[in-house]
Amino acid sequence: MRNFDNVRKLNRGRQRRQPLSPAIGMLALVTLVLAACGQAAPTAMPPTQPPVVAPTTMPPTQPPAVAPTESPLPAALSPSVTVADQAIVDGKVTIAQVVSATPGWLVVHAQKDGKPGEVLGYSPVQEGDNADVVVMIDTAKASGTLYAMLHSDAGTVGTYEFPGADGPVMVGDQMVNPAFQITGGLAAAPSATTPSETAVPPVASGTSPSVAVGEGEVEMEDFQFQPKVLTVRVGTTVKFANKDKVQHTATSDTNVFDSGFLSKGDSFSFTFTEVGEYPYYCAPHGGPGGAGMAGTIIVVP
């Protein structure tokens, strides 16, 4: 019975608590919802990535444009001649240095009255620096003091024209013509001889007579006539033969004969029919009156 009563009490207790169950349930539900809203686990978001930007194709780097610069003009050459005292060797003198602004001539003058006089010889020079310019001179007319004078080549290129277009080069109002002393090699004063006593080198016949008869020969070699003086009898034919690599002429001072330009291996002949002296010269390398490359034909009865 006691057990039965206990059961009954228990059931009554449960019955009394049942009306509260819905409210409690509702309260629990609300509590859970609020808890869920306030303590909801954070949603895992993917990490923010920077936007992908397609690579931009850049043009190749070009060096900055540089404005073209003009090349500086070369400084104008200042004409000058450098020469030392020296002896005449084999009829030649050597000029150590010649600086010319244009093609020209180095001309050696004898001294007369303390200044440049007669032309003794000359050699061509090129524009710029010319070293060791060798000049064949007329030693018979050389003086103890000579002048190395720079001339232009203003006329026919390659042809010495002085007196004429190829005048002395001037720097300011001064000629370029340093003086130098001859220490040896001057020709001895000629002895008084008659034309027939003048020694004559071998002629075409192969003999060495003092006076050529019938035929004589003058060779153009090393910028000189060999022999320089040739004595022949009236009626003799003289042949002028060029042995040099450059052109020469045999031109009479008095216009009696003129070979024109003769190249190496060429020759010119002229027959002398009257007694007298016939001076002549090479037009490119000498001049009337025995200047530079010059010679004389003496015709005797």
* CA separation for the pair 153, 160 (Å, rounded): 7
In a domain, 40, yes or no: no
User: Has residue 226 been placed in a domain?
Assistant: yes
Give the whole-number percent of the chain exceeding pLDDT 90: 36
Domain count, the chain: 2
Task: Tell whether 84 and 180 lie within a shared domain.
Answer: yes
Residue 46 pLDDT greater than 80, yes or no: no
Whether residue 127 is found in the same domain as residue 202: no
CA angle 75, 79, 83 (to 5 degrees): 135
- Asked if residue 175 and residue 94 are part of one domain, the reply reads yes
Cα separation, 53 vs 69, in Å, equals 44
Question: Same structural domain for residues 92 and 152?
Answer: yes
Same domain, 240 and 276: yes
Say what the pLDDT of residue 50 is. 61
Give me the mean pLDDT over the 78-107 stretch.
93
Cα angle, residue 81 at apex, residues 83 and 281 outer, rounded to 5°:
85
Q: Among 153, 184, 215, which residue terminates a domain? A: 184
Has residue 61 been placed in a domain?
Answer: no
Answer yes or no: do 232 and 278 share one domain.
yes
Same domain, 154 and 215: no
Residue 75 resides in a domain: no
Residue 189 vs residue 186, higher pLDDT: 186
Angstrom distance (rounded) from CA 277 to CA 133: 33
CATH of the domain at 201: 2.60.40.420
Has this prediction a pTM greater than 0.85?
no
Instruction: Answer yes or no: is 251 within a domain.
Output: yes
Higher pLDDT, 5 or 120: 120
Q: What is the CATH number of the domain that holds 175?
A: 2.60.40
Residues 160 and 138 grouped into a single domain: yes
Q: Does 206 share its domain with 294?
A: yes
CA–CA dist 291, 209 (Å, integer): 28
Residue 11 forms part of a structural domain: no
Please tell me the predicted confidence (pLDDT) of residue 30: 58
Instruction: Tell me the C-alpha distance between 3 and 9, whole Å.
Output: 10
The answer to whether residue 18 is domain-embedded is no
252/156 same-domain check? no
**Is 93 contained in some domain?**
yes
Assess whether pLDDT exceeds 70 at residue 134. Answer: yes
Of 150, 184, 218, which marks where a domain is finished? Answer: 184
Q: Are residues 206 and 293 in the same domain?
A: yes
Asked which of 184, 208, 231 is the last residue of a domain, the reply is 184
Is residue 148 domain-shared with residue 226, that is, in the same domain?
no
Range of the domain at 219: 195-300
> Which H/E stretch holds residue 80?
strand 80-82
